[in-house]
Structure 1
């Protein structure tokens, strides 16, 4: 790694001029609507082209050194693209909370969950089953109806009202997050756990909070 860094530092490049040229290029109107990833990719492509055209590379560098430089830059581009996609995808999913845009009843969520489970689409079935749990708890006023609530927040609030099921609620929330945000596939066992919890919650009764002084 040290010899490669020495090689890069030793290149005779007017970095200030190159940076100013790159900034002026990106300020042009045709780049105004480009995404951050596109801008970075374009800048790096231009940098590589300018770098390999320099006469100094022929003196200081070699074919192997230039190939190593290109490989490093490509790795950086790939990392930027992967991070940008994950951030965009994760941000969109989290803004929706537990429920999607359409409001459904607990029964509708259960029916959708069973249909998806029959097709072996475990991640989607798990999401629908937890939505059935959340809607049922809201309809029975065990938890407040809170737009944008996360699975963890649901488990925490429901667990306070139903302490005997608090641990199972936390596990269910973790499974929901794993298949929704962690991109895990979900399993038949995970879905069976959610279905069993849903059935037990339907007959559970909240613990009365400690009354104030009479």
Structure 2
């Protein structure tokens, strides 16, 4: 006879020796992975950029820690070493300038705007008054070359470089050959070598400009006569 609430006849009898019901390990792992991969669990995760930045900082921290342990004085000693290296590098950069990527005189001395020697001198003086020595040196060298062109000691030739102008001018102004070469070298260092000009360099080029204005050129006929006289003198001494 059945009694209310008696379920013994509705379900099969389970032996006390059977293990409890459980999911296999692999399906359980896959179910957990699927559950945790849902977007709701990752809304507050850092972005890929933040993760990359954190990885970089972790690498820098490990590198700094390793270097600190190997440097006498620990972190403070490492900071001193880095500061010394930066100071030496800065001093070398200031002294030697930026490395040149090509020949010193690879570009023309003048741009496409025709200007007189007086214009270049005025511009040089204006830059010098403001302490802009790079521009002052450049404009003063241009004034020298333009003045020589205006005096017909140099032919007007587009594309001429500072070195070429100095070499050509030295033939008619031989007493200033060294000064012209030095001025051209200062112009090249400032314009193409990445070096900083100084007030001393500008004063030297300005004095050269004044001296050239007062110097008379040595004409080709004079040079030929001088060479002939020297040759005759040597021949007479030989006889």
Give the structure 2 partner of residue 186 of structure 1: 197
- Paired with 1:114 and 1:189, the residues of 2 have a C-alpha distance of 14
- Paired with 1:188 and 1:198, the residues of 2 have a C-alpha distance of 15
Give the structure 2 partner of residue 111 of structure 1: 122
| CA deviation after TM superposition for structure 1 residue 185, in Å | 0.9
- Paired with 1:103 and 1:208, the residues of 2 have a C-alpha distance of 27
SS for the counterpart of 2:216 is: coil
Say yes or no: does 1:153 pair with 2:164.
Answer: yes
| CA deviation after TM superposition for structure 1 residue 203, in Å | 1.2
Give the structure 1 partner of residue 149 of structure 2: 138
Give the structure 2 partner of residue 94 of structure 1: 106
| CA deviation after TM superposition for structure 1 residue 205, in Å | 1.0
- Paired with 1:101 and 1:184, the residues of 2 have a C-alpha distance of 24
- Paired with 1:148 and 1:204, the residues of 2 have a C-alpha distance of 26
Give the structure 2 partner of residue 204 of structure 1: 215
SS for the counterpart of 1:94 is: coil
Residues 89-135 of structure 1 show CA distances to partners (whole Å, capped at 9, x for unaligned) of x69x833x111221100000000000001111101110000000000
Matches within 5 A, 1:1-214: 87=101, 94-95=106-107, 97-209=108-220, 210-211=223-224
Q: Which runs of 5+ in 2 are unaligned?
A: 1-58, 60-99, 229-239
> How many aligned residue pairs are there?
127
- Paired with 1:156 and 1:146, the residues of 2 have a C-alpha distance of 14
- Paired with 1:177 and 1:139, the residues of 2 have a C-alpha distance of 23
| CA deviation after TM superposition for structure 1 residue 211, in Å | 4.2
Residues 157-203 of structure 1 show CA distances to partners (whole Å, capped at 9, x for unaligned) of 00111000001000000000000000111000000001000001111
SS for the counterpart of 1:159 is: helix
- Paired with 1:147 and 1:167, the residues of 2 have a C-alpha distance of 24
- Paired with 1:143 and 1:122, the residues of 2 have a C-alpha distance of 26
- Paired with 2:143 and 2:217, the residues of 1 have a C-alpha distance of 18
| CA deviation after TM superposition for structure 1 residue 143, in Å | 1.2
Q: Which runs of 5+ in 1 are unaligned?
A: 1-62, 64-85
